[in-house]
Chain A
Amino acid sequence: MITGNFEYHQPGSIPEAVALLSKLGDDARVIAGGHSLIPTMKLRLAMPEHLIDLQAVKELRKISVSGGEVCIGAMTTQAELIASEELHKAAPIVRETSLQIADPQVRYMGTLGGNVANGDPGNDMPALMQCLDASFTLSGPDGERTVNAREFYEAAYFTARDDLEILTEIRFPAYSGGYAYEKQKRKIGDYATAAAAVLLTKGADGSCEQASIALTNLSDTPLFCEEASRQLVSDGLDSASVNSAVASAMGQIDPVDDNRGPAEFKRHAAAIILRRAIQQAWARA
């Protein structure tokens, strides 16, 4: 439980951090809150020779809402996401989700950027970001680019981010419709057995105008359930249509056996959790 040796760097700006990462290349890793990276280093599963700590890069720590768009700096901690009233007004699902991540101690350290960049299917923020249709801003030696959250995740720990890029910002449209993040876990501080993010907008006539569903820890990446979302919009929220949306979402999942239980159990729990999230979001819509 003691890490290997590494050099520690603390750049003060994004260009400085990008330059360092380009220079040190494969031997370097960016460290944000460290609450995913350091445990892996202690197990010596990761043994980076250089750590580039982003704590001192002030511009990465911000939350702003303007013109219907939310912009969050990568180094914003989960505790800060929870505390922000402005963010809560613009997208209440973020607080609801953040409160279900780990425990208060972890949330004071863990960052949004680290959570989405990590690529661990157990992380909660990636599915939430897919649900909110967020985009990620990446800064690298060749400049800046954005990647949609729904296209970012390739496999467990593999993302569209190039090794030499730094994730700087997360942007998504403000969302004030019905929302729910439902998560089943064994205990406080546990990753999801199954979790679902759902956003539903109810029209004046009571129809479902907009729907977005994404799932956590039920495959080797977060899952945006495009077909299921579309079904709720086209067929409404009666029980038959919810059933078929859930069935469609379940068609996408591919959970694995682990200490939380066998895949068979997770399939069952996932359907229940998704159904509850849909009901809750619709009740709030």
Chain B
Amino acid sequence: MSATAESVQERRAALKGLGTSRKRVEDARFTQGKGNYVDDIKLPDMLFGDFVRSQHAHARVKSIDTSAAMELPGVIAVLTAKDLEPLNLHWMPTLAGDKQMVLADGKVLFQGQEIAFVIAEDRYIAADAVDLVKVEFEELPVLVDPFKAELPDAPILREDIADEKEGAHGARRHPNHIFTWEQGDKAATETVIGEADVVAEEMVYYHRTHPCPMETCGSVASMDKVNGKLTLWGTFQAPHVVRTVASLLSGIAEHNIRVVSPDIGGGFGNKVGVYPGYVCSIVASIVTGKPVKWVEDRMENLSATAFARDYWMQGKIAATKEGKITGLWCHTTADHGAFDACADPTKYPAGFMNICTGSYDIPTAYLAVDGIYTNKAPGGVAYRCSFRVTEAAYFIERMIEVLAIKLNMDAAELRAKNFIRKDQFPYQSALGWEYDSGDYHTAWDKALESVGYSKLREEQSQRVEDFKAGKTRKLMGIGLCHFTEIVGAGPVKNCDILGMGMFDSCEIRIHPTGSALARLGTISQGQGHATTFAQILATEIGISADDITIEEGDTDTAPYGLGTYGSRSTPVAGAATAMAGRKIRAKAQMIAAYLLEVHDNDIEWEVDRFVVKGAPEKFKTMKEIAYASYNQAIPGVEPGLEAVSYYDPPNMTYPFGAYVCVMDVDVDTGVSDIRQFYALDDCGTRINPMIIEGQVHGGLTEALAIALGQEIAYDELGNVKTGTLMDFFIPTSWETPNYQTDFTETPSPHHPIGAKGVGESPNVGGVPAFSNAINDAFRAFGLTHTHMPHDHWRIWKTANELGLHAES
């Protein structure tokens, strides 16, 4: 018997299923430079497109003279809004219910806006021709500050909708106002705040930044005029949605459009939206009958395609003297730039910002978000984040710290006092969510113990003494964060994008010899789907992950899905994969019973086979069953072994984590130094610990960037000040500290395998941890809050304003 037990374990290990730190199968090609990205696609007779862009943030376009460009040998055409207008493609709908100019229609609204699209025989000629297009502008007053958008002298940006009192999300009170979105109980919250023992107030700004994936956005469109088929390769995080949108916009029947997302060099939300470059490459290919490639450069990427964040969050948090939180109030001014192109589920104009009660049992809360137009690039994408969860987590984790200061209480203790308790799950939040599961106290205690929290606080107090005594010029900050995410959008009943319900899908084919192909509606951009989805299936169907090919991204072959962003792949497509696997197993059970000549109910599943109950020597492996399904006539059972599942999740999943960051801060130079970073993540069932760790490292590093320097900054004329990687901070190995990762495991009760998603957690939790460390370093000197990014000069300024440079 013990021999069998051992072999069960061996057989299980051989599957490389759930819980295995399996090496990423993608890396063999990526580490050899053999990936196939959009820019690697080269087709015969391919043409190249390049944009003439606006140097002004707000101007009327008086005229566009393309004649000199057209005379340059090798230039095929120069498209302007006038050329797109007959096709009704000079504007396009955004994911947020607004519309956006494809090419400047009479005016430009942000620096870098697309004005004309040059099509040429090679990339270099296209760039030369761009310089030859002459645009005559009449400059208009520029609006960069969202708080000035509704002043009497504010310029009106969107003349096209200036008179529309109703937008996609309700009433608009001013031409520069997009929407007001309210959640929770305003009156009750204001009463609680009015009557509270203690109220802490703060304006928390999460500055504008950018996902900046290594690969910029691009597309290759190829219209085959003989068979009427359009093939579109592109950097698409949601290829099926792109197909549907392309069909609706162009009038080409959907079956005649094939959209392919090849390898994608990072997305982080930058590749969810639809950009003018995609539309122009399609139109250009239709017009010329030749394939047309468009790939933006780094500066175009940073200044024109999709910013993230830019939320001004005014907060009030109420508590009893003992530190029990009684209410939370938040008013957010959301700077959306020139067009509302947020990539959120339709009914959520501020995404899931209403998760801003965080990990805490806050009985009463109210949130209002006002969307505002400014002369900045459109976007508002979820940068490694599930629709504004990063903003929400940053807001509440700052407010907790501010409240701790007001209460003169330790911030770790204040958190523990207010966590939703394990026995309260499923928990109904004041702002409308049902948290599926959690065990915050366990995670928190483990984190504090692992870092030696009380010792750190003692060391910090000593440091403050030493600083005051002139023995050191470095302060020490302890950054705490306990975040709760809401990911896996989402239930079709309340989540859609452009009307498409946010389900996802998996289709499995088991081959006669017992290997398999599975196709999903998602698309990996570095997450390692080909590795992890095979592991989910391996455990479900008993075929080794090494014998399962995962394919995504080709709409002609993959089942319809909503794509990859918002940590939805594992919660939604991962669930579909498990469910499709279970269908395979159900059919396999019938086949096995037939082969073993017993009743279906007389056999049971064991790792990779069906075994006759009580007779372990009688079994059929999945491999044998697969073969039989193709070569035997089994009464009442169709030949073959395939399944497809479309999964509509019953709820979101709620990953959480406890992070601690310890920093030294030089008050004279503003230089900060991360001494320790501890990250405990609870993402439910762990599919591949090594991939989780990789995701955590990557997400923390992006969080570090955002907290400590990464920003898209504008001057008062609307010029982008951080348009290259010299000024836009991307950390290298040099700036990246060692991370200490840890975990607890609280499976999701409604997900087939209990998994919750992890790719974005470290970014959501990391930013507050880094920022809290900086803020905490100055707490002893009277600081309550200072805005990100905490780069050298801003830290220096904080120290300076606190009078810490008086004697140096």
Contacts and interface: CB of A to CB of B under 8 A. Distances in A.
Interface of A: 1-2, 4-5, 44, 103, 184, 186-191, 193, 259-262, 265, 268-269, 272-273
Interface stretch (B18-26, B144-152, B686-694, B727-735): B727-735
B669 interface: yes
B793 A261 contact: yes
Contacts of A268: 668, 796, 800, 805
B791 A2 contact: no
B792 A184 contact: yes
Interface stretch (B121-129, B173-181, B618-626): B121-129
Interface in B110-164: 123-124, 127-128, 131
Contact of A261 (B713, B726, B792): B792
B765 to A, nearest CB: 23
Interface in B667-718: 668-671, 709, 713
Contacts of A260: 792-793
Contacts of B792: 184, 186, 193, 260-261, 265, 269
8 contacts: A1-B298, A5-B124, A261-B792, A265-B793, A268-B805, A269-B796, A272-B669, A273-B669
A193 to B, nearest CB: 7
A2 B124 contact: yes
A184 B671 contact: yes
A187 B123 contact: no
B796 A265 contact: yes
Interface residues of B, number: 32
A197 B420 CA distance: 56
A4 B800 CA distance: 46
Nearest to B296: A1
A103 B732 contact: yes
A187 B796 contact: no
Interface in B81-135: 123-124, 127-128, 131
Given A186-B729, A187-B734, A261-B796, A272 B668 contact: yes
Contacts of A272: 668-669, 808
Contacts of A269: 668-670, 792, 796
Question: Do most interface residues of chain A lie in helix, strand or loop, or is the interface mixed?
Answer: loop
Interface string B768-808: 00000000000000000000000111101100100001001
A193 B669 CA distance: 10
Contacts of A193: 792-793
Contacts of A184: 669, 671, 792
A187 B297 CA distance: 22
B721 interface: yes
A76 B504 CA distance: 58
Contacts of B297: 1
Contacts of A191: 726
Interface of B: 123-124, 127-128, 131, 297-299, 668-671, 709, 713, 721-722, 726-727, 729, 731-732, 734-735, 791-794, 796-797, 800, 805, 808
A77 B297 CA distance: 28
B576 to A, nearest CB: 41
A184 B673 CA distance: 13
- List 4 A-B pairs, minimum CB-CB distance, nearest first: A261-B793, A2-B127, A1-B297, A188-B734
Given A190-B726, A259-B722, A269-B668, 12 more contacts: A1-B298, A1-B299, A4-B128, A4-B131, A187-B734, A188-B732, A188-B735, A261-B794, A268-B800, A269-B670, A269-B792, A269-B796
Contacts of B722: 259
A187 B732 contact: yes
B808 to A, nearest CB: 8
Nearest to A47: B131
Nearest to A259: B727
A78 B669 CA distance: 27
B797 A265 contact: yes
Nearest to A1: B297
A262 B732 contact: no
B124 A262 contact: no
A283 to B, nearest CB: 18
A193 B128 CA distance: 35
Nearest to A265: B793
B309 to A, nearest CB: 18
Contacts of B791: 186, 261
Contacts of A186: 709, 729, 791-792
Given A1-B297, A5-B128, A187-B732, A259 B796 contact: no
A109 to B, nearest CB: 16
Nearest to A257: B793
A187 B734 CA distance: 8
A259 B298 contact: no
Contacts of B805: 268
A259 B713 contact: yes
A1 B303 CA distance: 13
A113 B298 CA distance: 29
Contacts of A273: 669
A260 B709 CA distance: 10
A259 B710 CA distance: 11
Nearest to B123: A2
Contacts of A265: 670, 792-793, 796-797
Nearest to A272: B668
B709 A187 contact: yes
Contact of A189 (B298, B726, B793): B726
A189 B128 contact: no
A196 to B, nearest CB: 13
Contacts of A5: 124, 128
A19 B729 CA distance: 43
A103 B726 CA distance: 12
Contacts of B731: 187
Contacts of B726: 189-191
B732 A259 contact: no
A25 B25 CA distance: 56
Contacts of B732: 103, 187-189
B793 A262 contact: yes
Contacts of A261: 791-794, 796
B717 to A, nearest CB: 15
A187 B713 contact: no
B721 A259 contact: yes
Contacts of B123: 2
A123 to B, nearest CB: 14
Residue of B128, B722, B796, B800 with most chain A CB atoms under a 10 A cut-off: B796
Contacts of B796: 261, 265, 268-269
A223 B792 CA distance: 23
Contacts of B128: 4-5
Contacts of B709: 186-187
A4 B131 CA distance: 10
A188 B731 CA distance: 8
A187 B724 CA distance: 14
A268 B804 CA distance: 12
A5 B805 CA distance: 52
A187 B735 contact: yes
Contacts of A190: 726
B669 A44 contact: no
Nearest to A194: B669
A174 to B, nearest CB: 31
A193 B727 CA distance: 12
A265 B669 CA distance: 8
Contacts of B670: 265, 269
Contacts of B800: 268
A282 B804 CA distance: 27
Nearest to B666: A272
A190 B127 CA distance: 28
Nearest to B299: A1
A184 B297 CA distance: 29
A199 to B, nearest CB: 23
Contacts of B668: 268-269, 272
Given A4-B128, A272-B668, A187 B729 contact: yes
